[in-house]
Amino acid sequence: MSGLGVVEKSIFICVVLTYLAAGGVGFRQLSRDGEKYRRLLICLIAFAVSIESVMLIFRAVSLKAVPLTGLFESMIVLTIAFGLAFLFLSVVIREVLFSSVMSWFLVVMILLTAVLTKPAEVAHPVAKMPWAIAHGMAMALGGAMVVFATAVAFLYLLANRRLKQKKLSKVLGRLPNFQKLEMLNLFGLKAGFVLLTFGLMSGVGMMAFKGKMIQTDIAQWFLDPKIVLIIIAWVLLGSALFLRWAIGLKGKAVAYVTMVAVFLILFAMLGVGLFCGTGHVFSSLGPENIVGVVQV
Helices (H), 211-286: 218-223, 225-247, 252-266
pLDDT attached to residue 22: 95
**Ranges of each domain in the chain:** 6-288
Which 3 state secondary structure label does DSSP give 136?
helix
Which residues face 122 on adjacent strands? 284
Burial 162-192 (b: 16+ CB within 10 A, else e): beeeeeeebbeebbbebebbbebbbbbbebb
| Tens digits of residue pLDDT in 181-220 | 889 999 999 999 999 999 888 877 776 665 555 555 566 6
pLDDT at 244: 87
Q: Which residues contact 152 (CB under 8 A, 6 or more apart)?
A: 181, 184, 185, 188
From CA 73, how far away is CA 12, in angstroms rounded? 11
**Mean per-residue pLDDT, 143-157:** 91
Per-residue confidence band for 165, with pLDDT thresholds at 50, 70 and 90? low
What is the per-residue pLDDT for 285?
41
Give the Cα separation of 258 and 145 in Å (integer): 11
Question: With 80 as the cut, is the pLDDT of residue 171 above it?
Answer: no
Condensed to tens digits (0 to 9), the pLDDT of residues 16-34 reads 999 999 999 988 887 766 6
Is the confidence at residue 170, as pLDDT, over 80? no
pLDDT tens-digit series, residues 33-90: 667 788 899 999 999 999 999 998 988 888 777 777 678 888 899 999 999 999 998 8
Percentage, residues of the chain above pLDDT 90 = 33
- Label residues 215-232 b or e (16+ Cβ within 10 Å = b): ebeeeebeebbbbebbbe
- Residue of higher predicted confidence among 243 and 275: 243
